[in-house]
Amino acid sequence: MKTKFVFSLFSIALTLCMSYSTTLAQAWIARHGLSPAQYQTEYNTNKQNGYRLTCVNGYTHNGQERYTAIWEQITGPLMATHHGMSGAQYQSKVDEYKTQGYRPTQVSGYGVGNEAKFAAIWEKIPGLWAAKHNLTAAQYQTEYDNFKNQGFRLVHVSGYVVNNVEYFAAIWEKKTGPALVAKHNLTGAQFQNEFNTLSSQGYALVNMSGYTKNNVNYYAGIWEQISGDPRAVRHGIADGNYQHVSDNMYYQGYRPVFVQGFASGNSARFNGIWVNKNYSAADLNKINNAINTYMQAENVPGLSLAIMKDGRLVFAAGYGNARPDETMSPNHPMRIFSISKSVTAVAIMRLVQQGHSNLLDRKVFGPNSVLGAKYPTPSQGNAGLGNLATPHPLHQFTVRQLLYHTSGMRTGNGEPPFWSATSTVAECMADLMGRSDLITQAPNVGEIYSNLGYYFLARVIEEVSGQSYETYVRNQVLNPSGIGNTMYVGLANGQSKAGEATYNPQSSQNMQQFGGFGGWVARPIDLLKFLSRVDGVSTPADILTSTNYTTMTTTSGFNNFRALGWRVDGGQQYHGGSFGGSRSWLVKRPNSGLSYAIITNSNVSNDWALKAVMDNLLPTISQFPGYNLF
């Protein structure tokens, strides 16, 4: 059935998803993959909470009826909405609401089995309009041409397939407006070409629809020659990637104004239009161009970035892929390697703060030391160190010297227990305590960057706290910083956990044994939450006292930037991580209120170049939003 309605009333412009608050991060709610019952429940709940439905689309996933929807916390004219309607039921509702002064402002057609179904929104607003549904492609083109000649403007189109035949539902309004282009039955490549061409001519996509025929995805769209807030468009997003894309948009300050799902084989794909009222196009381009240029130069498959301003998360984004065919999002955890040392250092300072005031200057091994009773050293000294042989070289250094890398201990982590998936702490310690080559110089005469030193510091934390290293860090550092289970010590077998990115190469070290010096996995968002609580800034409140923060960030005297688990240089407080298939930086910039965390899932040729990209980029951003996305 094809239906047409025309009402001669004064014209009023219709804009789907009409309003957005730039100060309230949750001024909107977007959902996808909802069953009919779930959608109805969500609709009822959101309506009670003051949210208005602004966008709804039906589709099928593996033959099952599903819905996407957007609600906004706005007011508007009286409205009605129904879903799961047959063509006859939709016709009946159009007739019923017509007599009450309502008109359809959005309609979604979708095939369920051998039947076309419809979801629609009606609003009580005046205007001269026309609506038709169940049009074949040829009929749709004819109607489009006829209505255009009569001064009607296409404002909404929905393509759908039933029994392998494409149909269209559309809404027109009789009004003037900017130049408009409408296209349908475009393949994905054709749609992208049209999008690129029209974008270069100043057109913005305002409505789109996807549908599948003969296992080929097709698209219809409406473009208008308008300017305004930055707009992002994605089409044909695979079902498994839609949430990652959505997360990316959210953390970059975008809000969804249109989301549509459509059946594609046994799965579903999604189209979306997002608008950004929080960043200028120039600033977004600066960020994206800097990161994409770096990734291309270094052949980086995936990167995740987060930016904090005055203790607020103001931007986060994933670039490239977290796994093959999986879009990187800000919510993918990745290995941070040596930034783990900063985590360990803060845990030590928490112990100091909790009553172990002399911990920093206690000996680590030997008589009356922290670990001497649990991990005794061999009786013989190290003949290769001359006068260091007595007392034993491992008896010489303190907790503070381990933190400063001035213990005289070599770098380490090449020992077999660190690469065995079954090794235990006891086995690692037995291996290390049996070696005669750990100490290469006397303590406190210079710096040797030492992973082994931070492995021993993890054991100090366990011994003093009576808890496992990860448990103490979680209870006393992560939880007080508001960090959840997206930050954790990685797996013993060196593989990625579910939801974690994969790496290039995927190195197989025992991340549990790496824990204290390089085993943590986190999102950049988590790292900034952590930094915001240990950066010496009062908002949000630090988990360390000002005295302990000063102690932690005081340099060693042997190196003008090496502090306790951190580098402190030119007003920056920072640390990097570099090993295997991941590179990372966590940086508090001086005198700007800006901090950032950035992680790649691959090797790069120059770790410091990655830091330089961000250090050069951030001062060029004209303005950051006032919201907090933590």
Structure confidence by residue, pLDDT tens digits, 548-571: 999 999 999 888 899 999 999 989
Does any domain span residue 159?
A: yes
221 contacts 215 by C-beta, under 8 angstroms? no
Residue 523 has a pLDDT of: 98
Look at residue 6 and tell me if it is in a domain: no
Q: What share of the chain is helix, strand, coil (3-state, %, to 5)?
A: 30, 30, 40
Q: Do 447 and 496 reside in the same domain of the chain?
A: yes
* Boundary (domain end) residue, out of 234, 259, 277: 277
pTM: 0.93
Phi-psi region of 572 (alpha: psi -120 to 50; beta: other; left: phi over 0): beta
Locate the DSSP E strands across 534-593: 567-569, 572-579, 582-588
Helix (H, G, I), strand (E, B) or coil at 519: coil
What total number of domains does the chain contain? 3
Print burial letters for 473-507: b (CB count within 10 Å at least 16), e (below 16): bbebbbeebebeebbbbbbbebebeeebbbbbeee
Yes or no: say if 107 and 119 are a contact pair by the CB < 8 Å rule.
yes
Looking up residue 444, the CATH number of its domain turns out to be 3.40.710.10
pLDDT in tens, 325-357: 999 999 999 999 999 999 999 999 999 999 999
- Give the whole-angstrom CA distance, residue 585 versus residue 597: 6
pLDDT digits (tens, 9 = 90+) for 208-241: 999 999 999 999 999 999 999 999 999 999 999 9
Domain that holds residue 82: 28-277
What is the chain's Cα-based Rg? 30
* Domain end point (choices 230, 257, 277): 277
Is residue 501 domain-resident? Answer: yes
Phi-psi region of 27 (alpha: psi -120 to 50; beta: other; left: phi over 0): alpha
Q: Are residues 306 and 342 in the same domain?
A: no
Distances (CA, A) of 338 to 450, 480, 500, 572: 11, 22, 18, 17
Position 390 confidence tier, pLDDT thresholds 50, 70, 90:
low
Do 504 and 618 belong together in one domain? no
Task: Determine, yes or no, domain membership for 226.
Answer: yes
Mean pLDDT of the chain: 93
Distance CA(194)–CA(407), nearest Å, equals 64
- Whether the pLDDT of residue 17 is over 60: the answer is no
485 and 438, same structural domain?
yes
Last residue of a domain, one of 277, 294, 327: 277
pLDDT at 253: 97
C-alpha span between 345 and 347 (Å, rounded): 5
Structure confidence at residue 387 (pLDDT): 46
Q: Which residues on adjacent β-strands are paired with residue 209?
A: 220
DSSP state of 536: S
Whether residue 515 lies inside any domain: the answer is yes
Q: Residue 519 pLDDT more than 60?
A: yes
Q: How many CA atoms lie within 13 A of 621 on its CB side?
A: 26
Q: Is 132 found in the same domain as 113?
A: yes
pLDDT in tens, 420-474: 999 999 999 999 999 989 999 999 999 999 999 999 999 999 999 999 999 999 9
Whole-angstrom distance, CA of residue 148 vs CA of residue 135: 16
- Same domain? For 236 and 290 the reply is no
- If asked whether residues 112 and 133 sit together in one domain, one would say yes
| Cα dist from 578 to 247, 462, 512, 607, whole Å | 27, 25, 17, 7
Distances 267 to 34, 112, 370 between C-alpha atoms, Å:
14, 14, 58
Q: Point out which residues pair with 237 in neighbouring strands.
A: 270
The DSSP output letter for 167 is E
Both 168 and 262 in a single domain?
yes
Domain for residue 483, yes or no?
A: yes
Residues 44 and 190 in one domain: yes
Rounded Cα distance, 135 and 146, in Å: 14
Q: Are residues 331 and 350 in the same domain?
A: no
Reply yes or no on whether the pLDDT at 10 is more than 70: no
C-alpha angle 270-43-233 in degrees, rounded to nearest 5: 25
Q: Is the pLDDT of residue 128 over 70?
A: yes
Residue 9 covered by a domain: no
User: What average pLDDT does this structure show over 230-259?
Assistant: 97
Measured over the CA atoms of residue 359, residue 424, residue 601 and residue 483, the dihedral's sign is negative
Residue 487 lies in a domain: yes
**C-beta of residue 58 within 8 angstroms of C-beta of residue 118:** yes
Pair (244, 360) in one structural domain: no
- Clarify whether residues 448 and 555 are in a common domain: yes
Evaluate if residue 18 carries a pLDDT over 60: no
Q: Where are the beta strands (DSSP E) in 457-528?
A: 488-489, 520-522
Residue 335 dihedral angles phi and psi, to the nearest 5°: -65, 135
